[in-house]
Amino acid sequence: MRDFGHWLSEFRPSIANYGYYVDFQKVYGNVESMKVELHILNSLIGSKSIEKDFYQLAERYPEVLKCIPLLLAVRNAEIYCQDEDGGQLYTFKPKDLKKENIDYAKYAYFMKKTGLFDLLENHIISNLIDYATGVETGLDSNGRKNRGGHLMEDLVELHIRKAGFIREESYFKEMYIHQITEKWGLDLSAISNQGRAEKRFDFVVKTKNMVYGIETNFYASGGSKLNETARSYKTLAMESDTIQGFTFVWFTDGKGWVSARNNLEETFDIMEHIYNIHDMEAGIIGKVLK
């Protein structure tokens, strides 16, 4: 018998890897894609007649306007702004930046009101390449949530491979119930509400005598979602126990579970195959997935 308290004490505050915080290759790539235009805009830094110089520059090189959203740390190619004089939609899409279509006074107004003219004119920055790299680094940090969502999956997959399973041969990623049924002929109606619900498992491992449906997650902080997850996986585990040839496995971790320990303990008590990262590192996959 495993002790729940001891098992929970092994949970970790984070599983961030070295690439979690900033994807610098993506940052450098995004800046590189605008490098020429940013170099051209550099000529406005320290200008004593910024509006006139902007007109001349934008008229000669209208493509430089596509850089402007990045200077404001905005991903969208369209920006809406309004003031006491009304609202305007500004487009920075390359296909729209044709000389004959551009209202230069409108874009100059945008540059002035957003503070970009002041940034350039007063030489607050010295190089737009460096500035854009800093902005991209900040924007990329917003992608941590998406990267974090895949860290546990990546970690579990690493240990599945370490246990000797081969992708697309003995283990499969993101597999739906109907795909499992079609591939191995298993009747999974007990966990699909008689075919009315389409469940997708993060991984499916196939051994000689068993199909394992695997779910993975990591919670660094608490919230109501954890209680819902624990309850739904408890139900899934109980339903799976009625299916011959199929086993549900759950890999979870994270200090967020401390705030939802009661619901997790209920699932732990009835679920044979629930494991944490420490279990994986101890080789549990190779021991139980047979």
Give the CATH number for residue 276. 3.40.1350
- Which of 90, 114, 141 finishes a domain? 141
Angle at alpha carbon of residue 236, lines to 201 and 202, rounded to 5°: 10
Angle at alpha carbon of residue 10, lines to 8 and 13, rounded to 5°: 95
Inside any domain, residue 210? yes
Q: Are 98 and 62 in contact (CB under 8 A)?
A: yes
Which residues are 203's β-sheet partners? 173, 214
Render pLDDT for 249-277 as a digit per residue (tens, 0 to 9).
Answer: 999 999 999 999 999 999 999 999 999 99
Q: Are 149 and 137 in a shared domain? A: no
Q: DSSP secondary-structure letter at 192?
A: T
Q: Are 284 and 182 in a shared domain? A: yes
Give alpha helix (H) positions in the chain: 4-9, 24-32, 35-41, 50-60, 68-71, 104-114, 116-121, 128-141, 144-162, 177-184, 224-240, 261-270, 277-281, 284-288
Q: Distance between alpha carbon 53 and the CA centroid of its chain, in Å?
A: 41
* 72 Cβ contact list (under 8 Å, min separation 6): 79, 114, 116
Which residues are 90's β-sheet partners? 79
Inside any domain, residue 232? yes
Q: Are 157 and 284 in a shared domain? A: yes
Give the range of the structural domain holding residue 104, as residue numbers without chain letter: 33-141
Task: Check whether 59 has a pLDDT greater than 80.
Answer: yes
Inside any domain, residue 40? yes
Render pLDDT for 186-208 as a digit per residue (tens, 0 to 9).
Answer: 999 999 776 567 899 999 999 99
Q: Are 136 and 151 in a shared domain? A: no
| pLDDT over 90, % of the chain | 81
Q: Are 75 and 187 in a shared domain? A: no
Q: Are 187 and 282 in a shared domain? A: yes
Domain count, the chain: 2
Average pLDDT over residues 16-42: 93
* Relative orientation angle of helices 24-32 and 128-141, to the nearest 10 degrees: 140
Inside any domain, residue 86? yes
Inside any domain, residue 186? yes
* Confidence band, pLDDT 50/70/90 cuts, at residue 106: very high
pLDDT, position 124? 84
